[in-house]
Amino acid sequence: MISLIQKTFVEKRKFITDDELLSITAIAESTPGVIAVNTATYIGYKVAGFFGSLFSTIGVVLPSFIIILIISYFYDAFIEIKLIQYLISGLAVGVTYLLFRAGFKVYKTYEKNWLGYIIIALSFVAILLFKIFNINFSSIYIILIGGALFLIHYLLTYKNNVKEETIEEKEEQNDLS
């Protein structure tokens, strides 16, 4: 979904920038709801205010809601069809590809640092181990832990930068006097 949003609303229509998409993605992933709905709400509001956000949200939710409602009536008979089972397996592969593609696009735009690489590696290993050993651990916790680590890193880095700037300012003032 992120890849589709990026291609449509950043590259083609230019409603938002890559930086805004990164911010939207971070916020949308840390708040309740589907990323497409959160993104549609933001973009709709940016383009046309309150009614833009209202109608863009409805436009994203309504088609899926109608399709899921129809499928739910026929689910038991529907899932027994071998072709549907194969289709669902194929969709899982497609979704995995789209997630990696979106992740790679986001990766290319972020500032690279050692903490980011460590968090990516640890997250990947943790999710893989949870899957292998069938441990029920929500990926939301991994996102929150990664966010907390980056926040701590940012606060420590920012605090050090402020200290260095203050020392440099004091030295400049002493040189002037």
* 168 pLDDT tier (thresholds 50, 70, 90): low
The pLDDT of residue 163 is 60
Contact 118, 103 (CB under 8 A): no
CA angle 6, 7, 8 (to 5 degrees): 95
Residue type, 156: L
Phi/psi for 15 (5° steps) reads -75, -35
**Per-residue pLDDT tens digits for 16-43:** 888 888 888 877 777 767 788 888 888 9
Distance CA 24, CA 20 (A): 6
Contact 20, 7 (CB under 8 A): no
Contact 109, 22 (CB under 8 A): yes
pTM higher than 0.75 for the full model?
Answer: no
The pLDDT of residue 169 is 66
- The mean pLDDT of the chain is 82
The pLDDT of residue 173 is 65
* 44 pLDDT tier (thresholds 50, 70, 90): very high
Residues with Cβ within 8 Å of 39's Cβ and at least 6 positions away in sequence, in order, are 5, 9, 21, 24, 25, 28
The pLDDT of residue 51 is 96
**Per-residue pLDDT tens digits for 127-165:** 889 888 988 888 888 888 888 888 888 888 876 666 666
**Three-state SS at 17:** coil
**Per-residue pLDDT tens digits for 66-90:** 998 988 888 888 788 888 888 888 8
Smallest Cα–Cα separation from 46: which of 15, 69, 67?
A: 15
**Per-residue pLDDT tens digits for 90-130:** 888 888 888 788 777 777 777 777 878 888 888 889 888 98
The pLDDT of residue 49 is 93
The pLDDT of residue 84 is 84
CA angle 50, 51, 56 (to 5 degrees): 105
**Per-residue pLDDT tens digits for 56-67:** 999 999 998 999
CA distance readout (Å), 143 to 28, 57, 137, 162: 12, 25, 12, 28
HSE value, Cβ hemisphere, 13 Å, CA-based, for 168: 6
